[in-house]
Amino acid sequence: MSIVRSNKLPAQHPGAIFKKRILDRHKITIVQAAKLMHVNRPHLNNFVNGKVSVTAPLAYKLERSTGINAAFWLSLQTKYDLYVNSNLEVEAEPLYAFG
């Protein structure tokens, strides 16, 4: 059975949201943020540019640094991942008859 998923709502990478809502709003550079968050600058830069995902350790650092719950950041990542893969063709058979 082949399922094609579709999602019309756009989702932003959590790094873009972090940049817009935190860094830009408070005029904080990536260098400053990386130092205060105790993460290396290239990794934070890659996160802000959507090249790396939020992991649990990064989510906790974001929580500690912004006051925004780690679960929120992980939820944004999940929504983004589902959106990016919304047109992924999936091959799977039902495990049982449902419905």
User: What domains are defined for the chain?
Assistant: 2-85 (1.10.260.40)
Q: What is the pLDDT of residue 8?
A: 55
Q: Which of 99, 97, 84, 61 is nearest to 7 (CA)?
A: 84
Q: Which residues of the chain have pLDDT under 50?
A: none
Q: What is the pTM of this model?
A: 0.83
* Confidence (pLDDT) at 83: 93
Give the per-residue SS3 of 1-18. CEEECCCCCCCCCHHHHH
Cβ(16)–Cβ(6) under 8 Å? no
Residue type at 39 in one-letter notation: V
Copy the structure tokens of residue 30. 């990536």
How confident is the model at residue 10, as a pLDDT?
78
Query: What is the CB neighbour count within 10 angstroms for residue 48?
Result: 22
